[in-house]
Amino acid sequence: MPRIGDLEVETGWAIRVADRVEQQAVLALVRSNLPPDWSLRKGPGLDVAGRTVRIKVRQCPPEQEIEDLARLLGAETGFSLQVE
C-alpha cells in the first residue's frame, strides 16, 4: 500500500490528512448500512473523541449483523461500534 509521500511524488500533488472527522459522512455510512429490520430508539450518535458510533436499539439485533456493521465501520472510518 503506497504511503502519502509516495502518492505525492507519483501525482505531483500535495496531500494532507484532515485533522477533523467528517461526522455526517460517518453517520451516513452507518445509516446506509443498517439492516432494515433494526428498530432504533434513537438515531446513531457519534463520539468523536472516543472514535465510537453509538446505536440505541429497541431489541438487540443478531450478533452477526452487529459484527458485520462493526467490521465495515472500522475498515471504512476507524470508528468502533457500540450497540445499546
**Per-residue pLDDT reduced to its tens digit, 36-81:** 999 999 889 999 999 999 999 999 999 999 999 999 999 999 999 9
What's the pLDDT score for residue 1? 58
Q: Measured between alpha carbons, how far apart are the two ends of the chain, in Å? A: 36
Q: Give the pTM.
A: 0.77
Query: Do residues 64 and 81 make contact, with C-beta atoms less than 8 angstroms apart?
Result: no
Grid coordinates in use for 73?
465501520
15-42 pLDDT per residue, tens? 988 778 899 999 999 999 999 999 999 8
Please tell me the distance from the alpha carbon of residue 5 to that of residue 16, in angstroms, as a whole number.
10
* C-alpha to C-alpha distance for 27 and 43, rounded to whole angstroms: 9
**CATH label, 21-83, candidates 1.10.3470, 3.30.300, 3.30.70, 3.30.590:** 3.30.300
Rounded to whole angstroms, the Cα distance separating 16 from 27 reads 23
